[in-house]
Amino acid sequence: MFRLPAPVLALALLATAFLGSTSMPASAADSPEDARLAKFFQNYLDLWMAQRPLEATLLGNHDFDDVLEDVSPESRKNWETLVRLTLEGLPKEVDFRKLSRGSQIDYEILKHHLERTLWVWENIRPFETDPRTYGEYITNSIFLPLTQSTLPREQNVANAAARMRYAPSIIEAAKRTIRNPPRVVLETAIRQNKGAIAFFESGVYEVSGETPGVSSFKAASAPAIAALKSYQEWLEKEALPNASGEWRLGRERFVRKLELELEGAFPADEVLAEAESEFARVQRDMYVISRQLWSQHFPDSPLPPDDQSGRAETIRKVIAKISEDHSRPETLTAETRATVDAIKDFIAKKDILRLPEPDRCQIIEMPEFQRGNSVAYLNPAPPLDPAASSMYAVSPPPSEWDDARKESYLAEYNRRMLLILSIHEAYPGHYVQLEYSNRHPSLIRRILSSGVFAEGWAVYTEQMMLDQGFHERDLGLRLVQLKFYLRTVANAILDHKLHAQNMSDDEAMKLMVDGAYQSEGEAFGKLIRAKQTSCQLSTYFVGRMAFYRLRQQIQREMGDDFHLGRYHEAVLDHGTLPVKYLPELVRERLKQPR
């Protein structure tokens, strides 16, 4: 098992990284230059994973599951050296002109990844300004191998116990490195660190099935728990009083970061203008449906006046009535499983696309220590271990919440909203799309995936499924889908105006609560997220619009020859790549048999 014991070894390996051979054979169909690019990337990836064991785990390589990164500033200089040398070496070692078209796209994806990585490290400096970064190393490094690795359970438990001993050194690096973070980020890190302590004290036994009294975790976790408690005190008493950093990017950095995040698909001002136009359209559609549903829910009350405030009242009251139909905490997971079965049956019956076989998506109840941040998430099978299971986790409200807060949460994520979430997260959204992606022969595309593609596809499927007749007599479901999509549109507006136009908290809350019909609790959580994750919230809207436009264009071009299932498979056949490449690739794929 290869290890990277010191920075010196990393730098020594770099000298031979680009010309050394690998065990990866070239496909018979590859051109020599295509094979050269594949070898170049494999060498980079091998060094990257050796430097960063948690990244290897996330990708599905389990060679380093018992060790963790050295996240000290000195070690991170070597990470940067690797990326810079790779970026400099790419045009020297690979002739772009000699590559096939598919490999030219891979080349551009790799180049963009390297440039974006360096820009973020130089301009955002997450290790200095974002204390949450360190917490992810400590908890994710244990949680992921225990829940997704295909290694034997005993090996995963041993690896997790070995990894626990690295927690104190990561915390020491955090204390050395964190400098004047934004208060809103630090407050989140403080809450998350409390969750990390709970995870090491009890959650780790919940996810692993180990018995606390006899498990090897008991001795291994003790130093980690002590370090985390010390870190908690440091965060609260030393870091928090000095947390006055600026969370806003400012226009110049926002525009550049968004360009990198969207992979050059659309300029920032164009995204904002389109989002504001779409916001008004979706509000109009929601009013039309709410007006139709009014007499069903309020048979003895006249429809409010058809003016701005009356339309908003109509929408809000109808949504509130629909939200009363929600699950109970103890039935949420079982109802989600039944919902997924119905969705899969509809997809097969309507030939929306061919579902992956075998189906490796597990529907689980979110562990207690993870609850309170989101109602659902998908942990996909990693690209280097595609035989692993994907996990679609749904979250009952945290047990410590009072009854009123639980009721508000369940109303926001009512039964109809759970249908939309299951479409988005699992079928035919994230789970299906990423299973297709893991089949792609290009390692570059499997590893360096596009968030715009992944999120855009998931949002596109929400409306598409209803357009094809899923629960077609349920106008309430259509209204909830539009509300969920309006949140996506609002997120793009919020992202831009908070970071580039100095939008105030009150203005942001008004946009979400009054304009997008969100509960105050949901809106406040999104405001916190928007301050901490600049540019990511725009990917959902931009990706959805790219998929929507492409569908309209190709369907119009093909006319009666257009087949939806064949089209969707042609979209997903190319991996999770930047959406700007889809028009040429999908059109070419549709010339071939399904």
575: left (phi over 0), alpha (psi -120 to 50) or beta: left
Output the CA–CA distances (angstroms, integers) from residue 458 to 149, 251, 384, 399, 525, in the order listed: 25, 29, 22, 30, 21
Same domain (yes/no): 268, 221:
no
Rounded Cα distance between 547 and 45, Å, is 30
Mean pLDDT estimate for the chain: 92
Is 251 a domain residue? no
- Looking at the predicted structure, is the pLDDT value of residue 507 above 60? yes
Q: Could you report the per-residue pLDDT of 422-465, keeping only the tens digit for each?
A: 999 999 999 999 999 999 999 999 999 999 999 999 999 999 99
Number of domain units in the chain = 3
Rounded Cα distance between 133 and 116, Å, is 18
- Looking at the predicted structure, is the pLDDT value of residue 17 above 50? no
Same domain (yes/no): 423, 564:
yes
Q: Could you report the per-residue pLDDT of 549-571, keeping only the tens digit for each?
A: 999 999 999 999 999 999 999 99
User: What are the CB-based long-range contacts (under 8 Å, 24+) for 254-258?
Assistant: 254/496, 254/499, 254/500, 254/534, 254/535, 255/500, 256/119, 256/123, 257/119, 257/120, 257/123, 257/124, 257/534, 257/535, 258/495, 258/496, 258/535, 258/538
- Looking at the predicted structure, is the pLDDT value of residue 5 above 50? no
- Looking at the predicted structure, is the pLDDT value of residue 367 above 80? no
Same domain (yes/no): 492, 546:
yes
Same domain (yes/no): 465, 529:
yes
By three-state DSSP, how is residue 519 classified? coil
Same domain (yes/no): 381, 468:
yes
- Looking at the predicted structure, is the pLDDT value of residue 26 above 50? no
Q: Could you report the per-residue pLDDT of 45-102, keeping only the tens digit for each?
A: 999 999 999 999 999 999 999 999 999 999 999 999 999 999 999 999 999 999 999 9
Q: Are 118 and 83 in contact (CB under 8 A)?
A: yes
Same domain (yes/no): 441, 482:
yes
User: What residues are paired with 393 via a beta bridge?
Assistant: 364, 377
Q: Which amino acid is at 87?
A: L
Output the CA–CA distances (angstroms, integers) from residue 410 to 302, 404, 407, in the order listed: 29, 10, 5
User: What pLDDT shows up at residue 295?
Assistant: 97
Over residues 138-161, mean pLDDT? 93
DSSP secondary structure letters along 570-594 = HHHTT-S--GGGHHHHHHHHTTS--
Is 253 a domain residue? no
Rounded Cα distance between 19 and 200, Å, is 44
Length of the chain, in residues:
594
Is 256 a domain residue? no
Structural domain that includes position 393: 329-589
327 or 366, higher pLDDT: 327
Is 594 a domain residue? no
If we measure between CA atoms, which residue out of 118, 133, 132, 129 comes closest to residue 248? 129
What is the bridge-based pairing of β-strands 361-365 and 390-394?
Answer: parallel
- Looking at the predicted structure, is the pLDDT value of residue 24 above 90? no
Same domain (yes/no): 236, 301:
no
DSSP summary character for residue 64: T
How many other CB atoms are there within 10 angstroms of residue 399's CB atom? 9
If we measure between CA atoms, which residue out of 169, 168, 170, 145 comes closest to residue 158? 145
Q: Which two tokens stand for residue 355?
A: 């579902």
Q: Could you report the per-residue pLDDT of 385-414, keeping only the tens digit for each?
A: 988 999 999 988 877 788 888 888 888 889
Q: Last residue of some domain: 207, 242, 277?
A: 242
Is 259 a domain residue? no
Same domain (yes/no): 300, 340:
no
Measured distance between the N- and C-terminal CA atoms of the chain, rounded to whole angstroms: 42
User: What pLDDT shows up at residue 148?
Assistant: 87
pLDDT grade for 36, boundaries at 50, 70 and 90: very high
pTM of the model: 0.92
- Looking at the predicted structure, is the pLDDT value of residue 161 above 60? yes
Output the CA–CA distances (angstroms, integers) from residue 372 to 327, 399, 403, 435, in the order listed: 17, 10, 14, 28
Same domain (yes/no): 47, 139:
yes
